[in-house]
Copies of this chain bind each other. A is one copy, B any other.
Amino acid sequence: MSAPLRASTFEMIENDFVKHDWRSHSRPRTLRYVLLKWILCFLIGGITGCVGFFNNLAVENIAGVKFVVTSNMMLANKYAWAFMVFAVSNFILTMFASVITSCIAPAAAGSGIPEVKAYLNGVDAPDVFSLRTLVVKIVGSIAAVSSSLHVGKAGPLVHTGACIASILGQGGSRKYGLTCKWLRYFKNDRDRRDLVTCGAGAGVAAAFRAPVGGVLFALECVASWWRSALLWRTFFTTAIVAVVLRALIDVCKSGKCGLFGQGGLIMYDVTADKITYHLVDLPPVIVLGIIGGILGSIHNFLLEKVLRIYNRINEKGLARKFLLAASVSILTSCCLFGLPWLASCRPCPTGLKEACPSIGRSGNFKKYQCAPDHYNDLASLFFNTNDDTIRNLYSAGTDDVFTKFSIILFFVTSFFLGIISYGVVAPTGLFVPVILTGATYGRLVGMLMGSRSTLDHGLFAVLGSASLLGGTMRMTVSVCVIILELTNNLLLLPLVMLVLLISKSVADTSTTNIYDLIVKLKGLPYLEAHAEPYMRQLTVSDVVTGPLQMFNGVEKISNIVHVLKTTVIMGSL
C-alpha cells in the first residue's frame, strides 16, 4: 500500500478551538446533530439490509442458472458439455472478481473483517472505506460467491456495511464530488468510528439475519474501547436491517425473485422442534469441541503459510495474480464436478419418490450421473451453492441420507479448498467455508456415535460448525448468538456454549485468532486489549520527554496509546 497508515484517535481532541466551538453551539444545533446521527444509523441499516438482500438474490440467480443449465445437460447425458459450461462460467466469474479487485480497488480483496477490526482499534489503512472499495466489494463478492469458489459472503458484507457507514458519515465521497455539506459534522474520528461500528454490526445482521449477533460481533471487534451509547445505536441499526430483510423476503414470497425461492436462503431452520439431550450426549459434544479447537489451530496455521506464499506470488504483478485466481478456479471446478463421481449411486428412500431425485437446484437428492430413482449424496454437497449445502447438512431427519465416505471426502476437500481460496485477490469471506467444514465433521461424529446418541445429525452439524468457528475466529459470544439466530432455536444454547468454550480454550493454547493473524500479515498494527509487559516499567517521564524516540516505526503507534493509557492509571491513583 502506498499511502501511509493513520492512527485514528479514540476521543475528540479537546483543544481550545473545539471547546470554543462547543460553547458556541446552540441547542437546535445539538438537536440537529443528534437527530442526524440517528438518521445516519437508519440509513446505514436500511442500505446494508438492501445490499445484503441484493447480494443473496444475485448469487442465487447467477449460481442457480449455472446449476440448472448444467443439471439439464447432465440429464441429457452431455457430461463433457456440462463440465465445460460449469468450468467456463466459474472461470469467467472468478476472473471478473479478480480483475476488478486488482485493477480498481485492491483494498476490497479478502474478507475485510481484519481491516474493519484494525480500524475500530485505532489504525486507519488508506482506501479501505472508499466508494471504489465499496462498489468493488459488492460486485466482486457476488461474482466470487457465484463462481462456486469456496468463499463466503459474510466477511465482505461486514466490510460493505462499514464502508457504507464511513461514506455516509463523511457526507459522500470527496473524490467524485458526491459530498453533502450538512453531513460535515461527522468528520471527526470518534463519530466516524461509531458509525463504522454500527455498519459492521449491520453487515453481520444482513449476512446471517442475526441482529443480536451483529451487535455482539461489533462489540467483540472493538476490543479496546466501548461506549454504552454505542450498544443502543448499533442495536437500532441491526434492527433496521432485520426489518428491511424481512420486508424484502416477504416481497419475494410471491415468487417474483426468480431462483431466489421462498426466501429461506438466509436463515437455516433446524427443524427439530423439541430438542432434548441427556448426559450421554455430553461426551460427543466435548469431543466436537476438542476437534474444533485442534482443527481451528491447524486451519489458522495453514492459512497463514498459504497467505505468505500467495503474498509472494501476488507481489510479482497482475499476471501472476490472475494466474493464481485462474488456477484456484479451475481446481475448484474440477473438484466440485469430478469428486461426486467417486460416490456410488444410492437408491431413493421409500416414501420419498416425489422429492428424490430432486431435479433442479435444491433438495438433498441430486440425480447427477445416477439411474432414475437413485441419487448421488456427494453431489448434494459438492454440486450446490454453499447456502444450499449448509441447509442440507443442517436439516433434521436426514441421518441416513449421507454415507461416511461422502462426508469424509467432502470434509477434506472443503477444509483445503477453504484455505487455498481465501488468498485469491477477490472479495472472499471466511465464515461460510468454516461453517461448511465444521458441519461435515460434526455430522461425521454424529454418524460415528450412531444409536448411542439421541441427538439428530443435523444438530451435530450445527455444533460442528460452532466448534470450528470457535477454533478459528475465537469470537465466542457473537458466534454463539449468530448460530442460535441462524438456526432459530434457543434450546441449543447450552450445547453451543459448551462447544465454543472448549474449542476456543483448546485453540488458544497454540495459535492466535484468524483475524489478528491476517492483520499482522497485512502489516496493520493495532491496539490490543492488553499492553505488552515491558510497558509496565515505563513512567510518565518516558512518555513526556521521549515521545519521538518511541515513534520508530508504524508498529509503535499502538504502543504510544497504551503507554498513555497506562500512564494515566499509574499517575491517577
- Given that A235-B497, A239-B498 are known contacts, is A14 also in contact with B536, CB under 8 Å in the complex? yes
Segment of A351-359, A361-369, A562-570 engaged in the interface with chain B = A562-570
Q: Is B480's CB under 8 angstroms from A235's CB?
A: yes
Q: Is A536's CB under 8 angstroms from B19's CB?
A: yes
Assembled-state Cα–Cα distance A39/B492 (Å): 24
- Copies of this chain present in the complex amount to 2
Does A220 sit within 8 A of B, measured CB to CB?
yes
Q: Which residue of B9, B226, B568 is within 8 Å of A226 (Cβ)?
A: B226
A263 shortest CB reach to chain B, Å:
13
Assembled-state Cα–Cα distance A48/B228 (Å): 26
Q: Is B497's CB under 8 angstroms from A227's CB?
A: no
Contact indicator per residue, chain A 205-242, by CB within 8 Å of chain B (1) or not (0): 00000011001100110011011110110011001001
Assembled-state Cα–Cα distance A242/B565 (Å): 37
Does A377 sit within 8 A of B, measured CB to CB?
no
Does A511 sit within 8 A of B, measured CB to CB?
no
Chain B residues near A227: list those with CB within 8 A.
529
Does A501 sit within 8 A of B, measured CB to CB?
yes
Does A246 sit within 8 A of B, measured CB to CB?
yes
Most chain B CB within 10 A, of A212, A242, A485, A572, is at A572
Does A44 sit within 8 A of B, measured CB to CB?
no
- Given that A232-B477, A488-B490 are known contacts, is A14 also in contact with B223, CB under 8 Å in the complex? no
Q: Is B501's CB under 8 angstroms from A537's CB?
A: no
Chain B residues near A504: list those with CB within 8 A.
232
Chain B residues near A211: list those with CB within 8 A.
493-494, 497
Q: Which residue of B10, B223, B572 is within 8 Å of A228 (Cβ)?
A: B223
Does A243 sit within 8 A of B, measured CB to CB?
yes
Q: Is B242's CB under 8 angstroms from A497's CB?
A: yes
Assembled-state Cα–Cα distance A511/B98 (Å): 56
Nearest B-chain residue to A561, judged by Cβ = B572
Assembled-state Cα–Cα distance A570/B494 (Å): 45
Q: Is B501's CB under 8 angstroms from A239's CB?
A: yes
Q: Is A14's CB under 8 angstroms from B570's CB?
A: yes
Q: Is B212's CB under 8 angstroms from A220's CB?
A: no
Does A81 sit within 8 A of B, measured CB to CB?
no
Assembled-state Cα–Cα distance A536/B480 (Å): 41
Chain B residues near A537: list those with CB within 8 A.
19
Chain B residues near A243: list those with CB within 8 A.
494, 498
Does A573 sit within 8 A of B, measured CB to CB?
yes
Q: Is B493's CB under 8 angstroms from A242's CB?
A: yes
A539 shortest CB reach to chain B, Å:
10
A196 shortest CB reach to chain B, Å:
17
Q: Which residue of B224, B229, B501, B569 is within 8 Å of A529 (Cβ)?
A: B229
Contact indicator per residue, chain A 1-38, by CB within 8 Å of chain B (1) or not (0): 00000000111011100010010000000000000000
A111 shortest CB reach to chain B, Å:
20
Does A406 sit within 8 A of B, measured CB to CB?
no
Q: Is A573's CB under 8 angstroms from B239's CB?
A: no
Q: Which residue of B224, B246, B536 is within 8 Å of A494 (Cβ)?
A: B246
Assembled-state Cα–Cα distance A22/B537 (Å): 11
Nearest B-chain residue to A211, judged by Cβ = B493
Contact indicator per residue, chain A 521-536, by CB within 8 Å of chain B (1) or not (0): 0000000010000001
Does A469 sit within 8 A of B, measured CB to CB?
no
Assembled-state Cα–Cα distance A466/B197 (Å): 26
A246 shortest CB reach to chain B, Å:
6
Chain B residues near A123: list those with CB within 8 A.
none
Contact indicator per residue, chain A 481-512, by CB within 8 Å of chain B (1) or not (0): 10011001011011001100100100000000
A561 shortest CB reach to chain B, Å:
8
- Given that A19-B537, A573-B13 are known contacts, is A220 also in contact with B231, CB under 8 Å in the complex? yes
Q: Is A485's CB under 8 angstroms from B480's CB?
A: no
A176 shortest CB reach to chain B, Å:
31
Does A148 sit within 8 A of B, measured CB to CB?
no
Q: Is B235's CB under 8 angstroms from A14's CB?
A: no
- Residues A17-71 near B (CB distance < 8 A): 19, 22
6 inter-chain pairs at a CB distance below 8 angstroms, sorted by A residue, are A13-B573, A14-B536, A212-B212, A235-B477, A488-B490, A564-B568
Chain A residues within 8 Å of B, Cβ to Cβ: 9-11, 13-15, 19, 22, 211-212, 215-216, 219-220, 223-224, 226-229, 231-232, 235-236, 239, 242-243, 246, 476-477, 480-481, 484-485, 488, 490-491, 493-494, 497-498, 501, 504, 529, 536-537, 561, 564-573
Given contacts A9-B573, A212-B493, 9 further A-B contacts (CB under 8 A): A19-B536, A212-B480, A212-B481, A212-B484, A215-B477, A216-B231, A223-B228, A235-B476, A564-B571
Listed from nearest, the 9 A-B pairs whose CB atoms lie closest are A239-B497, A568-B568, A564-B572, A11-B569, A223-B228, A243-B494, A235-B477, A242-B494, A13-B573
